[in-house]
Amino acid sequence: MSEIEFGLDTFGGVTRDENGVPVPHPQVIRDLIDDAVVADQVGLDFFGVGEHHRPDFAVSSPEMVLAAIASRTERIRLGSTVTVLSSDDPVRVFERFSTLDAVSNGRAEIVAGRGSFIESFPLFGYDLKDYEVLFEEKLALLAELLTEQPVTWQGTTRAALTDQRVFPTTANGIKAWVGVGGSPESVVRTARYGFGLFLAIIGGPAARFAPYIDLFQRAQDEFGIEHRPIAVHSPGLVADTDAEAREIVHDGWLAMRIRMGEERGWPPPSPGDFEREIETGALYVGGPETVARKIVRTLRTLKVDRFDFKFDQPVTHAQQLHSISLYGEKVVPMVKDMLA
């Protein structure tokens, strides 16, 4: 337990000013870089930036933002959460992250995934009917590229490669994960290609993901692959007190759930859903001790190597910064003490 890492993830969600007005995308990105600087200063292990192509998220090019962060930080590891591999090119993904690895002096990580939204498919000319084959083939190619050896590969979604080298090379390789939302098939595929497992726990109790971790370990054993690390990621916010944290988060959480429900055909939130997600679900909202105790329960339930706190709620940037500081300076030390 003493070796567990603690990180922060952001999707670059648009924050609000003091009057509740959405902050423009350019300022959100600049603020996000400041967030990462604070995360580095308070001793966190990882900072992840997601890729989206829609108005409620400011970041469409995580590597650019991460490169800016690399120039202002010293030790924190930097990665995507996630790179939408299905609508990208694995060669370009490797080239961008190997460049980031050089800029950051070996701190780059890739979290590849299919993404929780589909806007990138029509944007880059991909057909959703190819959803499965796109990810399967591109993940297989990315796994080959990460060996940094000459690659010979052929598929149906891009041009074949014959004894192809890709540059720049890295000093020590790039740690790579696959973001999984809870599909057994995705867990087994992640094991087969030798990636770390990055579980997005965004609703319901963490315990329901224990079978996926067990499946991942068993699949690696069956494939004869050395066990790769496992990370979990859940949303939340830390404030000085439980009541303050709930008040800060509630309205934005409710609006987000309603908006996502309208887009995806989900039923609207029921009375008490917000409180249930905090008490027994995947929402880590409260004062430092409350959040720390909930993280400890998760880490005692799931055998993982890293816990990532998704911190970008639709709140003000000042509230975000305060949450990051409390997470690094109070929550994480409490968690480590409780586990010890």
Mean pLDDT in consecutive groups of 10 residues from the start of the chain, 340 residues: 86 94 97 98 98 96 98 98 97 98 98 90 95 97 98 96 98 98 94 98 94 98 97 97 97 88 85 95 98 98 97 93 98 97
Query: How far is C-alpha 219 from the chain's CA centre?
Result: 23
The type of residue at 268 is P
The reported pLDDT for the residue numbered 179 is 97
Domain with 254, as residue range(s), is 5-339
| CATH code at position 245 | 3.20.20.30
pTM of the model: 0.96
Q: What is the count of structural domains for the chain?
A: 1
The reported pLDDT for the residue numbered 1 is 42
Task: Give the position of tokens 């990315």.
Answer: 142
The reported pLDDT for the residue numbered 96 is 98
The reported pLDDT for the residue numbered 262 is 87
Yes or no: say if 37 and 75 are a contact pair by the CB < 8 Å rule.
no
Q: What does the CA dihedral 182, 188, 194, 195 come to, rounded to 10 degrees?
A: -10
Taking alpha carbons only, the member of 303, 307, 302 closest to residue 335 is 307
- Exposure of 37 by Cβ count < 10 A (0-12 exposed, 13-18 middle, 19+ buried)? middle
The reported pLDDT for the residue numbered 313 is 84
Task: Give the position of tokens 């496992």.
Answer: 230
> What is the distance between the alpha carbons of residues 124 and 329, in angstroms, rounded to a whole number?
41
The reported pLDDT for the residue numbered 156 is 96
